[in-house]
Every structure is written in C-alpha cells, then in structure tokens.
Amino acid sequence: MRNMQVVSDIERRQPIVWPLLPHRHVERILAELSVKRSDMEDAHDRWTRFSRLLMHLFPELLSSRGQIDSPLLPINSPDLATSGYIFAKCDHDLPITGCIKARGGFYEVLLTAEQIALQNGILDPGADPICLTEPEARKALSRYRIVVGSTGNLGYSVGLIAKALGFMAEVHMSADAKGWKKKRLREHGVTVIEHAGDYSEAVANARRAAQKQLHTHFIDDENSLALFLGYSVGALDLERQLKQAGVEVSARRPLFVYLPCGVGGAPGGLTFGLRHVFGEHVYPVFVEPTGAPCMTLQLASGEVDRVVPVSEIGLSVSTSADGLAVGGASLLAANLIQELVSVCVTLDDTTMKQWVVRAWREYGLRLEPSAAAAFAAVEKLRDFRSAYDTSDVLPSTEATHVAWTTGGSLLPDDVFLKEIA
Ligand SMILES: *Cc1c(COP(=O)(O)O)cnc(C)c1O
C-alpha cells in the first residue's frame, strides 16, 4: 500500500525518518524468501576458496590471509549516543578499493571467473582457483569482457579485480562520476565510456553495449543476486567482530545498523545477512540523500512489480554523495528486504558534508559523503526518538549502534581536503 505521507515528504525533498512497522515474525519472512541462508553461506565459502588467489593478486591481503574485511572501531562519542555503544564498521578502509564495492563487485567478478573457468575446463569443481593465475588460464579469461555501469565506486572495484584476473573491462559512467575516478580506472587499463545522463542511463547504455558483444558478462547493479550475496557475507564478519568485542545482541541489547543506500544491493545484502544472524534483535536503518531517495520511494510506493524512479515524483537526481546518486532502486533488492528494513532515513547534502568534517576531526576517519551519511543517520534517529514516541516500533532499551562507513579512504588528498575545508 502506498504511504502518501512519506511520498509527499520526499517529493518536497524533506529529510525524513520513517520507521516501518513490522507485520510478521522475521523467521516467517526469511523462510518465504527465494534466497536462503545457504546462499549466503555458499558465498562465504566461495570467498574462502578464492583467498589464496586474492593474496597472490593483491599482496596487501597477505596480512589478512586473503580475506577482504575491515575493522570494527569503537567510537567514543558521548555526544552522539545518549546511551549504549557506537561502532564504525570501517568499509571505507577495505583493502584495495577503499569502499564497500570490494565486497559485492569483487564477488561477482570472482564468481564469473569461476564459472567461465569451469565451463572451459580450466578449473575442476572444488579445486583451488589459484590455478587461474597460470598463463594458459589468464589467456582464456582475456577473451572475456566484464561490462558495468557505475557512478564510480562499482566501476573502480569491478575494473580493478577484472584486470587483475586478466579480463577485458569496460566501465560506463554517468555525468555524476568524479573525474579522478575515471582517470584512475584508465590508468589501470580499464576502458571508460562516459555518458551525459544519469546513473540509470549509464547502466542502460552498458547493458545495451554488453548485449551486442560475445563473451561478455554484464554486471547489472540494478538487478544482481551475485552482488547482493557478495555483500551479505559482511554480516558474518560483523557477527564475529561483535562477539570478539564482547557485545551482546539480544532483546535487552538490540543492534542498530546504519547502511547508506544507493540501488540497495549493499545495504540489502547486509540486511538479509544481519536478519539471518541476529533475527528480530537487529534494526537495519537505510540512509539516503534527499536528492536521490530511490529505495525509500520504492518501499513507500508499495509497488513490487516495477521500479518507481524518483523522476516520477518530479525529482532529478542531485547529491554530492555520488555513491548514493541513484534514481531507481534495484527491484530485486527492494523486494527481498521490504519487510526486513526497520527505518528509512533521508538527509540533505549539508548534513552529510558536516559529518565528513566531524568524522575526520572527532574520530580521525576519512570518509566520503556517502559514508558519513551513516553517522548523520545515527544522530537523526537519536533526535527523532527523543522527539516522538516510537515504542510501538523500536526498542527503548540501551542499544548498540553500528555506522557502516562505506567508502572514502582512497579519495585523493586534494579532493578530501576540499571536503573538510
Ligand atoms: C555503492 C555505495 C553505496 C551503496 O550501495 P548500493 O548497492 O548502491 O546501495 C554506499 N556507499 C558507497 C560509498 C558506495 O560506493
């Protein structure tokens, strides 16, 4: 059913906090989804199988034994948390790409390489894919092309891993994409094709280009289960880290996780994983810019059969949070998580930018606006809960808050200095 109030607020670019009422038990919802916990575990096993190969391709992964994960950092901010603890899940510091796309984007390229290698008899089922580093295997992969549409981070991550494996790589970028991202990709031998329009147009162009070519795999950010599952494994990492930190997750001590949202693949996959791990005790909070609230609109529209782009309510995508500058949600992600999300938050650009500065000054974290949005949402929800009674939807006990900082450590110095000036 359409939520008229929410649609009308976001239409006016009003920053909102929208708690979604849970109607059914989490176990019931998860049991009815077409994607299962075993799919996430399968993705986890694939990441493990590929760890030796990843260490070989990227020596900076030696210290983590080929695992792509980030630290969970306690944040000392009495100002931000009136009660409970705050952590940053530092995906802005993920190895190699400095952003969360090293989970989803890398995963889909690894999966594709594995499938091609199996089909071509280069890899035996269950064997260690380290054999893909041999010249014969690389030669076989070099006949294939990976194509993706991106505002920047996805193209960067996909381009890097695709080239490292020997693939050809082609990234279609929208007008929002920052110049330095295009430059860096070209330096890695990736073909960058620029499009005048917005993100959806870049993806549509990439899709068309891919259809015309043989031996081509198109990574469809707007509709990819592989991306979704690659991201979901991050929930298992968070589970392990919270346990190590001695943090209990229970009815007495619930967990709020703040997830910046573009098309919804990253926050969606993580939400799916977190719900499997923590059930009803986790509260996933989706965070979007007021200039591109595509998932909030998708969920508020009540539509499950078609994408509702923000242009339909008269918004043209505009935000400095380029990782979130998306006009239409992934329908696949939206339908999987519609009953698993607890709160949608939208923020204006000024608030996100202020948090880039605060995160740097107060916590020493180097974030891009898309990632700083997670902290801004912690504050927004805190204020909302002190102003309104939310006891029918949200727990009032002391909680743990995790801001998922999704990108930024690889911003060039001059770009970051401008952000915090
Ligand atoms: C891509 C991205 C997101 C959101 O991921 P989606 O899958 O598009 O929802 C958030 N933050 C940053 C920095 C990103 O690059």
Distance from residue 148's CA to the centre of ligand 1 (Å): 15
Beta bridge partners of 294: none
Is 262 touching ligand 1 by the criterion CB < 6 Å?
A: yes
Interval 260-312: pLDDT, tens: 999 999 999 999 999 999 999 999 999 999 999 999 999 999 999 999 999 99
CA distance 12 to 137: 54
Overall average pLDDT of the 145-160 stretch: 90
Tell me, using a 6 A CB cutoff, whether residue 328 lines ligand 1: no
Q: What is the chain's mean pLDDT, rounded?
A: 94
From CA 290, how far away is CA 349, in angstroms rounded? 8
Whole-number Å distance between alpha carbons of 266 and 260: 8
State how far the Cα of 265 lies from the Cα of 268, in Å rounded to an integer.
5
Ligand 1: centre distance to CA 400 (Å): 23
Give the position, in ligand 1's atom list, of the atom nearest the Cα of 407. 13
Residue 393 has pLDDT above 90, yes or no: no
What is the distance in A from the centroid of ligand 1 to the CA of 104? 10
3-state secondary structure 195-249: CCCCHHHHHHHHHHHHHCCCCEEEECCCCCHHHHHHHHCHHHHHHHHHHHCCCCC
Give, using CA atoms, the residue closest to atom 8 of ligand 1: 262
Predicted TM-score (pTM) of this structure: 0.97
pLDDT band at 365 (very low <50, low <70, confident <90, very high): very high
User: Is the distance from the beta carbon of residue 292 to the nearest atom of ligand 1 less than 6 Å?
Assistant: no
Q: Which of 179, 139, 175, 133 is nearest to 156 (CA)?
A: 179
What is the spatial order of strands in the sheet that 255-260 belongs to? 17-19, 343-347, 282-289, 255-260, 400-404, 85-89, 72-75
Which of 126-135, 269-278, 383-392, 396-405: highest mean pLDDT? 269-278
- From the CA of 348, how far away is ligand 1's center (Å)? 17
pLDDT band at residue 244, thresholds of 50, 70 and 90? very high
Q: What is the mean pLDDT of residues 158-165?
A: 95
243 token code pair: 């346990």
Give the pLDDT band (50/70/90) at residue 231: very high
